[in-house]
């Protein structure tokens, strides 16, 4: 009969941390699947909400910014596709940030009773948002078919920008998840950050309308580089990347990601005591 041997040794958790994440890898699946079921439980149309919300947001942004405000699109790209190419990463980022930031508190019973690498909890929350992201991507395919808009070779680089969006969401989410355990004020700060971020990110408009002298400063928002990258990959040659700003945003995303892991690992030892 196969048995698991539990070894209790000083400093073992620190040395074996990343191996333990692989050992407990099934938890990623169970936590993510549980959250997906809970999210759409007792809804009449279930996963269709993952399509309806971004579609209606895209319609509103297209009407307000494209038709009423008469803001320019990028090149000859249809305004709706330009908006949705930005809405896709933004909705993923904002959803992942909200889910990740509150993930530890939602799993407080589990965390206070059983040992496992706590990093699994916020990563699982990001996976749930990534499932919505993939479903929402069907709308982009539908828009391209509707406008007969065919992407070129740049679409092959899209996974790179998806990876950057994941790093941004997880990095910021780890900071907020850890801070939320100690300071419950962050339950109210997180929705405010998401709301503010929507206004200061180029979701409903092109980042080209930002005056040239302010573009580098504007790129201090890490999502500017992510959104510009998505548009560059999706809108063929209609959208150009402002390289200094993109490199600045990328550097900030990497810093956010690494510092998020560092702070989470530093504070997770006391989660079970204060949660």
Sign of CA dihedral 43, 188, 125, 169: positive
Tens-binned pLDDT, residue by residue, of the chain (275 aa): 455 565 656 666 677 888 888 888 888 888 988 888 887 777 777 778 888 989 999 999 999 998 898 888 887 889 999 999 999 999 999 999 999 999 999 898 888 888 888 999 999 999 999 999 999 999 999 999 999 999 989 999 999 999 999 999 999 999 999 999 999 899 899 999 999 999 999 999 988 889 988 999 999 999 999 999 999 999 986 677 889 999 999 999 999 999 999 999 999 888 877 77
Give the global pTM.
0.88
Place of tokens 């040239």: 212
CA–CA distance, 52 with 223 (Å, rounded to integer): 23
66 closest CA partner among 88, 93, 84: 84
**CB 119, CB 268: distance < 8 Å:** yes
A 10 A CB-CB count for 153 gives 8
Structure token digits, residue 223: 């999502």
């Amino acid at each position: 009969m196969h048995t698991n041997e539990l070894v209790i040794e000083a400093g073992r958790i620190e040395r074996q941390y990343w191996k333990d994440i692989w050992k407990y890898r099934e938890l990623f699946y169970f936590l993510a699947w549980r959250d997906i079921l809970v999210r759409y439980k007792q809804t009449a149309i279930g996963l269709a909400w993952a399509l309806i919300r971004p579609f209606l947001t895209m319609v509103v942004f297209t009407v307000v910014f494209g038709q009423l405000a008469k803001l320019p699109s990028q090149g000859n790209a249809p305004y709706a596709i330009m908006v949705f190419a930005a809405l896709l990463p933004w909705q993923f980022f904002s959803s992942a940030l909200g889910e990740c930031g509150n993930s530890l508190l939602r799993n407080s019973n589990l965390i206070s009773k059983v040992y496992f690498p706590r990093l699994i909890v916020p990563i699982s929350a990001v996976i749930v948002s990534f499932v919505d992201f993939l479903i929402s991507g069907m709308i982009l395919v539908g828009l391209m078919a509707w406008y007969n808009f065919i992407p070129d070779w740049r679409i092959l680089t899209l996974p790179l920008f998806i990876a950057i969006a994941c790093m941004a969401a997880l990095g910021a989410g780890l900071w907020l998840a850890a801070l939320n355990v100690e300071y419950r004020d962050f339950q109210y700060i997180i929705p405010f950050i998401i709301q503010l971020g929507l206004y200061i990110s180029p979701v409903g408009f092109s980042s080209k309308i930002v005056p040239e002298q302010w573009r580098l400063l504007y790129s201090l928002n890490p999502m500017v580089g992510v959104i510009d990258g998505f548009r560059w990959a999706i809108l063929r040659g209609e959208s150009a990347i402002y390289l200094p700003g993109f490199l600045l945003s990328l550097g900030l995303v990497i810093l956010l990601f690494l510092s998020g892991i560092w702070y989470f690992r530093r504070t997770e030892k006391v989660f079970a005591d204060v949660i």
